[in-house]
């Protein structure tokens, strides 16, 4: 059944390849630089490389938006996302898979009464605005830089043609790599928590993790969409918004690809933080939105007179409809899956309110006055706990999310032998390893209790001051604590 449930992720990957990948080479095809078979093979190879090498960057933010914790629920969210993309695509609308998967996850949150992480949601929505804007600026600059270069070198027309095609190959490869790196989170991200896959050992030293298995299968699904259907979806962005020349096509693809890379590269994030600069949030962004912004940037670089604003209006309509439609479809299909097919679309989690929990959520900025005189109580599900909080007047989703985070019951037990075996000394410091080993046989009921204990034992588990130079290091520390919690969690 695991592989059956994953078919919806494969359908979503196919939809992404069919709908989004054409944006990487659609402009090049519309200018007759290459045949479809050439760009399809090139894009397919680099999509897989991008997913496998750099696919982890944008996955965390999407997972934080909503933790789909049952595989039937993951199947339904991915299927509703793919169905939304397919139906709107058939209606001729340019669709953003990023918006569709976000809508599907929020639909799951609403159905299960799980809180939505508004911090992650704000980051993602802000990227929808920043993405096309930055792509337009980059393509504008790249176009002028290329034109200036060609004028200064005074190449013969045949040399210009050779240079343009050679550079286009590099740009399409880079664009496909960025697409795979940034978009694989949309295809399989909802399965990372719920899919019961295990490490696959190739040799004694080569072990393929469950996440890597999912990334590879998801990348192949994207490739299938590229090969079978993407040729049909290249026309709107490549020709209808603004008619491109070979040079402007390359500049637009490069501009869009750079934006995708910035929103998925941990290396760029680290470099910017080390320089004391704010970094781009690592979130899955839409290549469709980036490419539309890039083509508009080229249009303005040429005076802006021939931009088809009617087509832009139709594209904007698709972007508004997509997340709403995906959320509604996800909610309906989750109801059918649970009540008609009797499948578990979410795992009921337990929560408790007591004095330590109240003190902790108060530290996180939640007004705790409403919990005065409340008895220690355990709640058996998300719905029961949300109803209790609503009765106390906690209707603000931001507070709801923090209370859920502090009150969820998870059990952890530290084993020093397991820590010695599993904590990689190339990743964890000696002080971090020794501090965990010193906690042998200690148990914790909440994740935050484990983290507070780790901080008390060693300063190496404490966050650094909140300045840009420390942003990457603090994020890496958060990932390390997450690994420790999953390592010693008792199922």
What pLDDT, on a 0 to 100 scale, did the predictor assign at position 313? 75
257 and 130 in a common domain: yes
133 and 60 in a common domain: yes
143 and 236 in a common domain: yes
Lowest mean pLDDT among 82-96, 129-143, 239-253: 239-253
Q: What is the pTM of this model?
A: 0.84
pLDDT-derived band at 358, boundaries 50, 70, 90? very high
Which residues form the domain of 382? 351-407
Residues 6+ apart with CB under 8 A from 475: 269
- Domain presence at residue 195: yes
pLDDT-derived band at 259, boundaries 50, 70, 90? very high
- Domain presence at residue 56: yes
Residues above pLDDT 90, as percent of the chain: 40
Mapped onto helix, strand or coil, the DSSP state of residue 441 is coil
What pLDDT, on a 0 to 100 scale, did the predictor assign at position 318? 79
Specify the higher pLDDT residue, 21 or 394.
394
Mean per-residue pLDDT of the chain: 86
The answer on pLDDT for 216 being more than 60 is yes
148 and 90 in a common domain: yes
139 and 52 in a common domain: yes
pLDDT-derived band at 306, boundaries 50, 70, 90? low
Q: What is the mean pLDDT of residues 22-47?
A: 83
- Domain presence at residue 344: no
Specify the higher pLDDT residue, 153 or 63.
153
420 and 392 in a common domain: no
- Domain presence at residue 194: yes
The answer on pLDDT for 30 being more than 90 is no
379 and 423 in a common domain: no
Lowest mean pLDDT among 204-218, 350-364, 420-434: 204-218
The answer on pLDDT for 237 being more than 60 is no
289 and 250 in a common domain: yes
Q: Please say which residue of 339, 365, 384 terminates a domain.
A: 339
| Top-ranked range on mean pLDDT: pick from 39-43, 407-411, 465-469 | 407-411
Residue 414 CA to residue 435 CA, distance in Å, equals 11
Nearest partner of 298 among 135, 129, 169, judged by Cα = 135
73 and 209 in a common domain: yes
CB 50 within 8 A of CB 178: yes
The answer on pLDDT for 28 being more than 60 is yes
Residues 6+ apart with CB under 8 A from 425: 433
- Domain presence at residue 115: yes
Handedness of CA 84, 86, 89, 90 (dihedral sign): negative
Looking at the structure of the chain, the number of domains it has is 3
The answer on pLDDT for 352 being more than 90 is yes
Residue 293 CA to residue 23 CA, distance in Å, equals 12
To the nearest 10°, report the CA torsion of 471, 474, 478, 483.
Answer: 110
378 and 292 in a common domain: no
pLDDT-derived band at 362, boundaries 50, 70, 90? very high
Phi, then psi, of 199 in degrees rounded to 5 = -55, 140
Residues above pLDDT 70, as percent of the chain: 92
Q: What is the mean pLDDT of residues 409-437?
A: 93
Give the CA distances from residue 398 to residues 124, 316, 407, in Å, rounded to whole numbers and listed in that order: 16, 29, 15
Specify the higher pLDDT residue, 195 or 251.
251
- Domain presence at residue 345: no
pLDDT tens for residues 171-201?
A: 999 999 998 988 888 888 778 777 667 777 6
Q: Please say which residue of 407, 428, 454 terminates a domain.
A: 407
Q: What is the mean pLDDT of residues 306-310?
A: 68
What pLDDT, on a 0 to 100 scale, did the predictor assign at position 43? 92
263 and 129 in a common domain: yes
Q: What is the mean pLDDT of residues 427-454?
A: 95
pLDDT-derived band at 305, boundaries 50, 70, 90? low
Q: Please say which residue of 384, 407, 430 terminates a domain.
A: 407
Token pair in block for residue 145: 């830089």
Residue 210 CA to residue 6 CA, distance in Å, equals 13
pLDDT-derived band at 26, boundaries 50, 70, 90? confident
pLDDT-derived band at 233, boundaries 50, 70, 90? low
Q: What is the mean pLDDT of residues 295-322?
A: 77
- Domain presence at residue 346: no
Specify the higher pLDDT residue, 219 or 281.
219
417 and 399 in a common domain: no
Residue 249 CA to residue 24 CA, distance in Å, equals 10
- Domain presence at residue 272: yes
What pLDDT, on a 0 to 100 scale, did the predictor assign at position 235? 54
The answer on pLDDT for 429 being more than 70 is yes
């Amino acid at each position: 059944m695991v592989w059956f449930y994953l078919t919806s992720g494969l359908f979503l990957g196919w939809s992404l390849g069919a709908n989004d990948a054409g944006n990487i080479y659609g402009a090049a095809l519309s200018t007759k630089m290459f045949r479809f078979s050439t760009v399809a093979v090139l894009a397919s190879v680099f999509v897989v490389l991008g997913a496998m090498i750099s696919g982890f960057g944008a996955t965390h933010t999407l997972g934080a938006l909503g933790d789909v914790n049952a595989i039937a629920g993951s199947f339904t969210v991915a299927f509703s996302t793919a169905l939304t993309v397919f139906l709107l695509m058939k209606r001729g609308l340019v669709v953003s898979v990023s918006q569709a998967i976000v809508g599907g996850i929020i639909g799951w949150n609403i159905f299960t009464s799980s809180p939505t992480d508004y911090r992650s949601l704000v980051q993602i929505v802000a990227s929808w605005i920043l993405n096309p804007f930055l792509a337009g600026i980059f393509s504008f600059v790249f176009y002028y830089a290329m034109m200036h270069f060609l004028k200064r070198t005074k190449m013969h027309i045949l040399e210009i043609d050779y240079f343009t095609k050679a550079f286009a190959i590099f740009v399409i490869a880079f664009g496909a790599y960025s697409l795979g790196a940034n978009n694989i989170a949309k295809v399989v991200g909802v399965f990372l928590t719920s899919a019961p896959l295990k490490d696959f050992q190739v040799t004694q030293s080569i072990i393929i993790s469950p996440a890597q298995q999912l990334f590879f299968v998801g990348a192949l699904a994207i490739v299938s969409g590229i090969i079978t259907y993407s040729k049909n979806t290249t026309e709107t962005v490549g020709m209808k918004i603004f008619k491109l020349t070979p040079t402007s096509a390359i500049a637009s693809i490069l501009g869009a690809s750079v934006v995708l890379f910035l929103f998925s590269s941990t290396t760029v994030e680290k470099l910017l933080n080390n320089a004391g600069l704010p970094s781009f949030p690592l979130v899955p962004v839409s290549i469709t939105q980036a490419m539309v912004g890039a083509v508009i940037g080229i249009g303005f670089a040429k005076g802006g007179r021939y931009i088809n604003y009617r087509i832009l209006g139709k594209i904007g309509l698709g972007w508004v409809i997509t997340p709403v439609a995906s959320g509604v479809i996800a909610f309906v299909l989750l109801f059918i899956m649970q009540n008609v097919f009797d499948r578990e679309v979410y795992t009921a989690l337990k929560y408790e309110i007591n004095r330590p929990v109240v003190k902790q959520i108060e530290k996180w900025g939640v007004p705790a006055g409403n919990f005065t005189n409340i008895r220690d109580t355990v709640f058996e599900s998300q719905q029961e706990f949300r109803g209790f909080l609503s009765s106390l007047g906690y209707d603000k989703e931001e507070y709801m999310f923090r209370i859920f985070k502090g009150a969820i019951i998870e059990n952890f037990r530290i084993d020093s032998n397991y820590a010695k075996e599993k904590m990689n000394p190339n990743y964890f410091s000696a002080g971090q390893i020794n501090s965990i080993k010193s906690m042998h046989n200690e148990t914790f009921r909440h994740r935050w209790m484990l983290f507070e204990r780790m901080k008390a034992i060693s300063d190496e588990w404490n966050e650094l001051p909140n300045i840009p130079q420390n942003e990457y290091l603090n994020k890496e520390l958060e990932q390390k604590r997450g690994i420790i919690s999953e390592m010693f969690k008792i199922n």
